Amino acid sequence: MTPSRSGAALVGALALVWGSNFLWIKVALDGLSPVQLTFLRMLAGALVLAVIVRTRAERLPTDRRFLGQITIAALVGNAIPYLLFAIGEQTVDSALAGVLNATTPLWTVVIAVAVGQEPHPTRTRLVGLIVGFAGAVLIFEPWRLDAGSNDLGGQLACLAAAASYGVSFVYIARYLAPRRQSPFALAYGQTLAATILLAPALLVAGRQDVNVDGSVLGAMAMLGFVGTGLAYVLNYAIITREGATTASTVIYLLPVVAVALGAAVLDEPITAGMIIGTIVVLSGVTLARRSRPDVKAIRRGHDQPVPSGGEPAAAPGSPGSGCGDRLGS
């Protein structure tokens, strides 16, 4: 379905918000450690979502089973990947981090198959996975690691963050999406749980001196309140007005936004390997997401937003993805 003009505008706005998060992480790291940045980001996002949930008079379940599930989702969908991206961007350009994030749907397919949530992939999807991960190698440019500003450890941290998103989407599709809980309430529960999980890490590994100036404060405000909080409103509006398939197109715009902002604002280099690798990865994602539609999954997809408040490529539980015919990232 072709999106309306307003729908296309919303998709563009969401891509700008999520794609710019990598820029804000890079800027905020000038004054904060990765642990400090990630904790404050989660706290700001949780505060925004708390206001939304309260305004909508929504409540979260309090049974032990749900609390355990939301905690696991927060760990693998928020705390771990957000922290890994912050660690990675200490030594990796923001543009490269945004490009590596685009591998999330590939990881989602691999993990879903590995845990038996999806049948063995078709030949087309298998080719897509091979092509996609080959593109990741091109992005890494291992033959140039000693000549650039992006080291292998930082790139692996970003790639591991994308894989963690994949784990979270598979987990949420299996345990939380069937609850039919309000997406805003789930998002609030996740960000709140992630904030609580990160508090001990802040006390142990986040006591470094801070160097906060206007640019750091502005970056954290954009990253936390907008990129981790208000982005849910945009994503939900797209899904409810245009459908989850339209919302999933954000995945193709995120790396473009991250690369453009990194080059324009931070003067980060754009290499041929990055451009070609990104095209190859997204081509692989297109193939890996190709499957027969699942009617139940499609119905679920129209009211389930992205479960992590970060830079995932789209919404789990929506059609055309990589998680059992559901969107992978």
pTM of the shown model: 0.86
**CA–CA separation, 58 vs 325, rounded Å?**
29
Task: Identify which of 15, 20, 40, 26 has the alpha carbon closest to the alpha carbon of residue 250.
Answer: 15
Q: Is 213 exposed, middle or buried (0-12, 13-18, 19+ CB in 10 A)?
A: exposed
For the chain, 329 residues long, give each residue's pLDDT as a single digit of tens: 567 888 889 999 999 999 999 999 999 999 999 999 999 999 999 999 999 999 999 988 889 999 999 999 999 999 999 999 999 999 999 999 999 999 999 999 999 999 988 888 888 999 999 999 999 989 887 766 555 557 889 999 999 999 999 999 999 989 998 888 888 999 999 999 999 999 999 998 877 888 889 999 999 999 999 999 999 889 888 888 888 778 888 989 999 999 999 999 999 999 888 999 999 999 999 998 876 444 344 334 334 444 333 455 333 333 223 333 333 33
The domains of the chain are located at 5-301
Measure Cα distances from 267 to 6, 93, 260 in Å.
32, 10, 10
